[in-house]
Amino acid sequence: MPRKVTRILLRYPHDDDGLAQVVLVKKSPNAAEVMSFLSSCGPFTCKQVDKCPVDLMFCAQARTFPAIPFMFITSATSDVVAVTKERARHATTLFPFVHAIILFPSALPPRTFRELQSLHLNQDLSDKIQIVPASSIETAVHFMLSVRSKQSFQAQEHTAEFYARSKAHTVRILQSNMPFLHEDECEMLLDVFGRHIFMCQRRVNQRIMHDLALRNRVMEETESKKAKNYEVSLRAAHTATERIKAKKRRELKALDDGVEVLILNQPSSIEAMNIARMLSPRFAEIIAYTPDIAKNSADDVRLKGLLDRDRVGSYYR
């Protein structure tokens, strides 16, 4: 009897079973896989579009969800840091907050990955963008659904209620420790503390950006120094090789000049021809192959007789 296979769908809270939320997906190499995962995770109507300021957007749903934009950052783009910065600036002018996902961060160079992660510290993009890495499409989809569930109007109401209760609790603590303060003064004091915390965090972000720029400059100087040293070492090796070659050429030329003088100083042309023959490549070839001649053979006897004569090249007479 065949077994019945049941498909389990991962559903997130705050989903309206009656209405499917529209999701706009910009055409890209990863669009089909993203739409497939979204369709299996909840009631979504995915629509592929040619032009969109972001790569994916959950459209607003009345009394349930706001519009939530997402950007995908991949290594397929040349000069990915500059392109991502320009896209983020354009997207943050249209939306109050943008979520950016670095897909497959292991495919990016470490330095590029660090620069992408530090974009949210940029003065123009500060408090306007969130950048997170995702090693797979499935991880990116689960992150987007998690952000969607947290930004639902119901979740925002719970967050506002919790913030009001925590603020009232803090005011009561201040009043119990400093009874001379009025409630309005306690709230003003909390605002002052909050402003100081914001300024401190901004100062920390500026310091992080300064340290990152300094580290990048040091790395560039180190790489430039290594490249120069490598070039100098290559040039030194090439120079040494050229000097050795020039020395060899001078030595060969001196030998050739000496042989030429030796040939010209012979009393007769026969002696000169014999010397030239002995120095020719053919004679060197014969000498090189003489050990291969079998001992006491006819060639061995003939060669010994030839070399034992007074004139090796006597047949030139």
pLDDT tens digit sequence for 164-222:
888 888 888 888 888 888 888 888 888 888 788 888 888 887 888 788 788 888 888 88
Q: 244-295: per-residue pLDDT in tens? A: 888 888 888 887 777 777 777 777 777 777 777 666 654 444 444 445 556 6
Domain membership of residue 280 (yes or no) is yes
The pLDDT score that the predictor gives to residue 70 is: 95
- CATH number reported for the structural domain that contains residue 99 in this entry: 3.40.50.10130
For the chain, count helices (H), then strands (E). 9, 6
Domain membership of residue 138 (yes or no) is yes
Domain membership of residue 276 (yes or no) is yes
Q: Is the domain of 179 the same as that of 144?
A: no
Domain that residue 295 falls in: 266-316
Domain membership of residue 243 (yes or no) is no
As a whole number of angstroms, the distance between CA 34 and CA 144 comes to 11
Q: Is the domain of 103 the same as that of 209?
A: no
The pLDDT score that the predictor gives to residue 294 is: 63
Domain count, the chain: 3
Q: How many Cβ atoms from other residues are within 10 Å of residue 274's Cβ?
A: 19
Residue finishing a domain among 151, 177, 203: 151
- Residue 57: beta bridge partners? 24, 69
As a whole number of angstroms, the distance between CA 215 and CA 108 comes to 19
Q: What is the pTM of this model?
A: 0.52
Here the tokens at position 231 are 């070039």
pLDDT (mean) for 3-28? 60
